[in-house]
Structure 1
C-alpha cells in the first residue's frame, strides 16, 4: 500500500459549527486510502467538539499560531510551532484560521511543509493578510470576487473551491403551516424567512423596512438566528410583532424553511461581508426561492437568477423584489424554486468540493 499523505487541518476552535462543519465534512469524506487526516485546534471547548471527536481521527491540542507581541520572543514562539509541525511529519497543512495571522504560515515555511489556507470572508484591511498569502503555497478562494480583489498578482497560488454541502441531507420540502416549535401561519399568508446571526452587516433592518413599506397584513417574517446582540435587541424593540417573529437561535432550520415561501439574505456591502453564505444554498436545496443582495458570494449563488438579486442596502429595491415574488402564481414560484434547487444540487455538492481538494493536495504532494 502506498504511503498515505499526512494532512493537517488547523482551526482555532469548535465553539460553533461554522468552519468546523466544513472541516468535519472534509475529514469525513476524504479518501482515507490516499490521505491520513489530522486536526489541530487550540482547546477542547465548544459544542461542536464532540461531533469532531466522533470522526475518530487524531486531534492535536496545540497553539499552532501565536501573538506577534512581545516581538523579542516571537521567533522562539514561531520555532516552537515549527517544531510541532516537523515532529509530526505532516505532508500538507490546510489552515481554516479565519484571522490574518501569519505566524502559522511562517512556521510551516520554516518546517518545509506546504501550507494552504482558505479565505473565508471578504475582509482584508492589514498587511498581515498579504504576508500570510506570500508565505502560503496555495490559497483557496470560495467566491469569484476574491481573486480579483485580493490575489490578482498571485494567479499561480489561487485555487477556486466553493464550500460543498451534502445534497442528500436536503430535498424539496413540502409547504407546512405549523412547525415543531409551535409557530403557525395561515394558508393565505406569504412567509419570508431569513437565517443569520444578528449582527449589523447582515442588514436585517433592510428586510424589515421593506416589509413595513409593503404594508400587507398577510406578510409574515421569521428572523432565525442568535438575537443576543445589541443590534438584535434594537431590531426586536422596533419591529417585533405578530407579523415579525424573532425565533432566536435554532438548530431545526428545515422546519422554518418548510414554512417559507421565500428566503431573503439582505447582507450589506460593507465590513466583513460574505465569503460564501451557506443559508441561502440550504434554502435552495430545500426548494425555496431565494432573494439576495448583489454582493460577493451571494452573486455567485444567484448568478443564473439575476432578477432575484437586489441592490445592497436598498429598501426600495428589496421591496420590489419581494412584491415580484408575492405576485407570482404558485406554479411560477414552484418552477423558479425547482430551477434554484437544480442549480444548487449541481454546483455545491460535497462530492465536487472533496474532489477538488483531493486534486489540490495530490498536486502539492507530487511537487
Structure 2
C-alpha cells in the first residue's frame, strides 16, 4: 500500500468559526486509505469533534510574536511529518504560510470571503495553491501573473444523505413558514426580511436561526415591536447542526438576504431538504447556484417590492411551488459534498 499523505486542516476553532461544519463534512468523507487527517486549532481544543483520534488533534498556540509563532508551528509540522497544510482561516494572517515555506510543506488555503488586502496578496504568494468557492474571485483577486496559475475553483457541497427532503410537499395549509439560518447580524441582514412581512399576509411567519449579535438583535426587536410582528417573527437562536435537517424539512421557503457572501452552504442545505430559496445578489456564489433559476432565484436588496411579489408566488401558486420544491432537490444534487471532497483529494495529490 502506498504511503498516506498527511494533511493538517487548520481552523481558528470549532466553537464558533463559520467554516467548522463545512470542514467536518469534508473530513468525514475524505478517503482515509489515501490520506491521514490532522486537525489544528488556535483555541478551544475541547470543541474539536471526535471524527479523528486525539493524537491527531493539535492545539496551535499563538503568542503574537511572529518569529516565535513561526518556529512553534514549524516544530508541529516536523513532529507530525505533515506534508500539506490546508487552511480554513478567514483571516489574512500568513504566519502558517511562512512556517510551511520554512519547513518545505505545501500550504493551501480556501478563499471564502470577499476581503482583499496586501496581506491577502502576501498570503497568496506564499501559498503553494489556492482554492476559491466563488467563481468571480478568479478575475477579482487572482488574475495577475503571479497567482493565476496556482488557483482552483472548488464550490462547496452539501451532504445529500443528511440534508434531504422528508417528502415533496405542497404549500402549508395554515402558516407559510419562511426561514433564515445564519448569524443574526448586519451582514446577514435579517432586518430586510422582517420588514417585508409588513406587506405579506398575516399567515406568513418568519423563523430566524443563528447566533444573534446583541446590538443588531436589539434593533431587530424594536422593528418587530413597532410593526406588531411579535406573533409572526420567531427568533430561535443557535441550533445544533444535526437538528438542522429536520428544521429545514418543515419550512416552506428559505431566504438569505445577506449583503456579502461567498458560496452560501446554508442555501445548499435548504435546497437539499426540498425548500425553495430566494437569495440576495450578495456575490458570485449565489448567481452561480441559481444561474439556471432552478429551485429559486436571486433578488435585489434594493427592490423589496419585487421580492414580496416573488414570495407571494410561492404562497399562492401551488403548482409553481411544487415545481420549485422538485427543482430544489435536483439542484442540490449538483452540489453533492462528494464532488467537493474528490476535487480536494485530486488537488492534494497534485501539489504534494
TM over 0.5: yes
Q: What do residues 243-298 of structure 1 show as CA deviations (whole Å, max 9, x unaligned)? A: 22212222333343233221111112xxxx21221211111101111001112222
1:12-51, aligned counterparts within 5 Å? 12-16=12-16, 18-45=18-45, 48-49=47-48
Establish whether residue 233 from structure 1 lines up as the match of residue 233 from structure 2: no
Q: Write the distance in 1 (CA, Å) between the matches of 2:130 and 2:180.
A: 31
Residues 1:198 and 2:189 aligned together: no
2:320 aligned with 1:332, yes or no? yes
**How far 1:176 moved relative to its partner?**
8.9
Query: How many residue pairs get matched?
Result: 341
Equivalent residue for 1:311, pick from 292, 300, 307: 300
In structure 2, what is the Cα distance between the partners aligned to 1:349 and 1:150?
27
Gaps of 5+ in 1: 68-72, 178-184
1:157 aligned residue = 150
2:128 is the alignment partner of 1:137: yes
Q: Which structure 2 residue ranges, 5 or more long, are not aligned?
A: none
CA drift at 1:27:
2.4
Bigger mean CA deviation after superposition, 102-111 or 237-246? 237-246
Say if 2:247 is the partner of 1:259: no
Cα shift at 1:237: 2.6
How many angstroms apart in 1 are the aligned matches of 2:247 and 2:7? 38
**231-240 vs 130-139, which moves further:** 231-240
Distance 2:212 2:75 in 1: 43
1:159-198 pair list within 5 angstroms? 159-174=152-167, 187-198=173-184
TM-score (normalised: structure 1): 0.86
1:9-40 deviations in whole A, cap 9, x for unaligned?
11121113742222222322211221111111
The answer to whether residue 278 in structure 2 is matched with residue 278 in structure 1 is no
Q: What residue is the counterpart of 1:244 in the other structure?
A: 233
Q: Is the 8 A contact 1:8 1:37 kept in 2?
A: yes
Checking the alignment, whether the CA contact within 8 Å between 1:293 and 1:309 is kept in structure 2 is: yes
Offset at 1:313?
4.1
Give the Cα separation in 2 of the matches to 1:190 and 1:76: 56
TM-score (normalizing by structure 2): 0.89
SS at match of 2:52: coil
Residues 224, 250 of structure 1: 8 Å contact kept: yes
The structural deviation recorded for 1:59 is: 1.1
Which deviates more, 281-290 or 246-255? Answer: 246-255
SS at match of 1:295: coil
Distance 2:167 2:72 in 1: 55
